[in-house]
Amino acid sequence: MYHDGDLSMANHRIKVLVVDDQKELAEGIASVLKTDSELQVLGTARDGFDALDKMAEEKADVVLLDIRMPNMNGVVATSRIKTEYPYAKVLILTTFDDSDYILNAINNGASGYLLKDIGGDALIRAVKNAYEGDTILPAKIARRIADAARHVSADRELKLMRAFGLSDREVEIALMIYEGFTNRQISSALKLSDGTARNYVSNIYVKIGCENRSEAVELIKNTIDLGQA
């Protein structure tokens, strides 16, 4: 991946910021990352506010961000970082694998979600892959996201089926589109190939009569809100 059109990983060390309120843990993660010559660890931060201050001093390419921190948690920090530094990749690193946190962080722009028991080699690989634009979702987290998507209300599913004649799988994906999932996140969560996910999304656009994602979200919202107080 190129940043500003002139830098690639071949000639650019990936700048990484580690954010965790547990200082020893943050420093341990930083130490692991420093073992790879392609990574440049800018330092550690103790919470979301501290991370934003550090980013203002020296902008990181990848931010490893704990989700449960005092003052400003990882979900809010992700949104702030992506708003102010949209090029930066945010990887959520935590012991907490609750699906609500996962969805909120990813919907706020996180590139993925890692558990803190990840091995050193896998952590380094995840940072590089996130920098290159990949979505990082371990299998058990992907299953949680898929489960969250499947357990939407029967009422919303029925409304979409009746209004547009969508199949069960198309309803599932339409609701994920509405909830802010990208095509890549849909493919990861539902274990589909990128091409299959794109085809499902295109078919949904045709069936509901829209040309782009923003129109689809509006049509789906209007449909599932129909008749609700």
Measured CA to CA, the distance from residue 77 to residue 69 in angstroms comes to 10
Q: Do 22 and 116 lie in a common domain?
A: yes
Could you tell me which of 45, 83, 84, 37 has the C-alpha nearest to residue 65?
Answer: 45
Digits of tens for pLDDT over the chain (229 positions)? 444 444 444 568 999 999 999 999 999 999 999 999 999 999 999 999 999 999 999 999 999 999 888 888 888 899 999 999 999 999 998 876 666 677 777 778 899 888 888 899 999 999 999 999 998 887 777 777 666 655 545 677 888 888 999 998 999 999 999 888 999 999 988 999 999 999 999 999 999 999 999 999 999 989 887 744 3
Q: Do 26 and 92 lie in a common domain?
A: yes
The residues that bridge with 94 in the sheet, in sequence order, are 115
Residue 217: per-residue pLDDT? 93
Task: With respect to residue 188, please indicate whether it lies within any of the assigned structural domains.
Answer: yes
Q: Which pair of structure tokens corresponds to residue 73?
A: 């948690």
Task: With respect to residue 112, please indicate whether it lies within any of the assigned structural domains.
Answer: yes
Q: Which one-letter amino acid corresponds to residue 9? A: M
The residue count for the chain: 229
Contact 96, 76 (CB under 8 A): no
Task: With respect to residue 8, please indicate whether it lies within any of the assigned structural domains.
Answer: no
Domain that holds residue 181: 152-225
The answer for residues whose C-beta is within 8 angstroms of residue 109's C-beta and 6 or more apart is: 78, 79, 81, 82, 86, 90
The answer for residues whose C-beta is within 8 angstroms of residue 26's C-beta and 6 or more apart is: 18, 19, 20, 44, 45, 46
Cβ atoms < 10 Å from Cβ of 38: 14
Q: Do 194 and 81 lie in a common domain?
A: no
**Does the model's pTM come out above 0.75?**
no
Residue 3: per-residue pLDDT? 47
Task: With respect to residue 4, please indicate whether it lies within any of the assigned structural domains.
Answer: no
For 97-161, give the DSSP string: --HHHHHHHHHTT--EEEETT--HHHHHHHHHHHHTT--B--HHHHHHHHHHHHTS-HHHHHHHH
For 6-21, give the DSSP string: TB-TTTSPEEEEEE-S
Measured CA to CA, the distance from residue 106 to residue 225 in angstroms comes to 24
| CATH code of residue 47 | 3.40.50.2300
Residue 124: per-residue pLDDT? 96
| CATH code of residue 182 | 1.10.10.10
Q: Do 108 and 175 lie in a common domain?
A: no
Q: Do 125 and 159 lie in a common domain?
A: no
How many domains are contained in the chain?
2
Measured CA to CA, the distance from residue 118 to residue 17 in angstroms comes to 17
